[in-house]
Amino acid sequence: MSGSSPLSSTAPSTPIRITSGFSFKRRFRPYFTKRQLATLGSLKNSTKAMGVAKEAFTRNVSCKFIQQVGKKLGFPQATISTAQALYHRFYLYYSVRDYPPQDISVTCIFVASKIEETIKKLKDICVAAHSVRYPDSKELDPENVSEERRRKVIGYEKLLLETLCFDFQQRHPYDYVVKFVKWIQAFQTLDGKRLAQKAYLLAVDSYRTPLCVEYPAHTIAAGCIFLASILLKHGDKSFVGLESDKPWDQFFCSRMEDIEDVCQQILDLYIINSSQDSEHYTAIKIEINEQAQNRGPDPNMDDATKEELSARSPDWEFDGMTTPLEVVNTNQHTVCYEFSLSTT
């Protein structure tokens, strides 16, 4: 019997990838442009069937549910906001018609508690979710959480982690709000405490919109401070807000158009949820639009951004029988995750 390996004569020089279907490379993308978000939305059957408005309503209700469950569990706001961000990211690719928002919300809370190191047992999260969903019913016994429900959430957890490409980095705007306001106070006299408190609350509410997958945390913080200044001035004429002649885009390291878009999306949220003050918020939207028109287009805007902003929404839609998203979101493919290697 020869001493050499029995595989030596037949082993290939390079490894062979064996798959049962399609093969895809998926990278984690921290932020998406409006064009990319619209394209992803058009690829989902839920957006076509439900409509954009109804899907936005479902997202709003689910994020409110996550906020209530998180508070009941005693989670810090960072954990709650992480769960909401996970929810937005999951439904970029998957349909609410295929994956129930209630179950995905519980899954996002469970995963967020691990990411932020505020871990709670899954059965405790299910109990809190039950009490929020059915406030008038008897509190659920943790030992009575069904094994089927636990297995379902664990299965969704694996799918959520794959959607994240196992990238758990999540920045929130709260620290930036505090730092920006402190910096503003260094050269302008204002009530920084009131401004920071109002901006903080706006930042919390911003997670009921998909802003966290569209803009970085410091831009969301800048938009919340800018909007907080306007809201406080409207409510109290004696309040000294941000000075209009300062280059806030340079101070906040963000395009002014992006700062204003953050304001607009939060105002849209308030208009939908507050029938009494909808006219007030609409008037502020008009005021921000007028400021943008008077300022004119950004002279430093790059060509890629100009092209995207000039495109029409129908140009972003995908019209086909079987979409690439439907192919990727099946079990008939192999996903190859690519991780960036840091050099030391």
Reported as a single tens digit per residue, the pLDDT across 257-273 is 899 999 999 999 999 88
Give the pLDDT score at 306: 64
Do 42 and 148 belong together in one domain?
A: yes
Is residue 302 very low, low, confident or very high in pLDDT (cuts 50, 70, 90)?
low
Do 31 and 147 belong together in one domain?
A: yes
Domain presence at residue 12: no
Helices (H), the chain: 34-43, 45-50, 52-73, 77-93, 101-115, 122-133, 147-163, 174-185, 192-206, 217-235, 248-251, 256-273, 278-295, 303-310, 324-328
Give the pLDDT score at 328: 57
Cβ-contact 34, 319 below 8 angstroms = no
Do 153 and 194 belong together in one domain?
A: no
Do 282 and 259 belong together in one domain?
A: yes
For the cut 90, the answer to whether the pLDDT of residue 7 exceeds it is no
Do 150 and 187 belong together in one domain?
A: no
- Give the residue from 141, 163, 185 where a domain finishes: 163
Give the pLDDT score at 5: 41
Give the pLDDT score at 2: 43
Can you tell me the distance from the alpha carbon of 128 to that of 87, in angstroms, rounded to the nearest whole number?
A: 18
Domain presence at residue 315: no
Domain presence at residue 9: no
Cβ-contact 208, 59 below 8 angstroms = yes
Do 156 and 248 belong together in one domain?
A: no
Give the pLDDT score at 309: 59
Domain presence at residue 92: yes
Domain presence at residue 206: yes
Do 193 and 247 belong together in one domain?
A: yes
> Which is higher by pLDDT, 274 or 75?
75
Domain presence at residue 284: yes
> Which is higher by pLDDT, 14 or 296?
296
* CATH code for the domain in which residue 276 is found: 1.10.472.10
Is residue 329 very low, low, confident or very high in pLDDT (cuts 50, 70, 90)?
low
Averaged pLDDT for residues 291-312? 68
Give the pLDDT score at 335: 56
Domain presence at residue 316: no
> Which is higher by pLDDT, 42 or 155?
155
Give the pLDDT score at 227: 95
Question: How many structural domains does the chain have?
Answer: 2
Q: What are phi and psi of 267, to 5 degrees?
A: -65, -40
Cβ-contact 120, 73 below 8 angstroms = yes
Out of 114-118, 149-153, 305-309, 336-340, which region has the weakest mean confidence (pLDDT)? 336-340
The boundaries of the domain holding residue 222 are 174-307
Give percent of the chain above pLDDT 70.
Answer: 76
For 29-80, the pLDDT digits (tens) are 788 888 888 888 777 765 555 667 788 888 999 999 999 999 999 999 999 9
For the cut 50, the answer to whether the pLDDT of residue 6 exceeds it is no
For 26, the enclosing helix (H) or strand (E) is strand 22-26
Long-range contacts of range 2-10, CB-CB < 8 Å, 24 or more positions apart?
Answer: none
> Which is higher by pLDDT, 266 or 169?
266
Do 72 and 44 belong together in one domain?
A: yes
Do 26 and 153 belong together in one domain?
A: yes
The mean of the pLDDT values for the chain is 80
Do 188 and 146 belong together in one domain?
A: no
Give the pLDDT score at 139: 74
For the cut 90, the answer to whether the pLDDT of residue 110 exceeds it is yes
Do 88 and 155 belong together in one domain?
A: yes
Out of 86-90, 313-317, 326-330, which region has the weakest mean confidence (pLDDT)? 313-317
Averaged pLDDT for residues 173-190? 88
Do 180 and 275 belong together in one domain?
A: yes
Q: From the CB of residue 252, how many other CB atoms can be counted at a distance below 10 Å?
A: 22
> Which is higher by pLDDT, 306 or 147?
147
CA angle in degrees (0–180, nearest 5) for 117-118-119? 95
Give the pLDDT score at 342: 54
Is residue 173 very low, low, confident or very high in pLDDT (cuts 50, 70, 90)?
very high
- Give the residue from 110, 135, 163 where a domain finishes: 163
Averaged pLDDT for residues 215-224? 94
Domain presence at residue 341: no
Averaged pLDDT for residues 7-14? 45
- Give the residue from 277, 292, 307 where a domain finishes: 307
Give the pLDDT score at 304: 65
Out of 81-85, 120-124, 246-250, which region has the weakest mean confidence (pLDDT)? 246-250
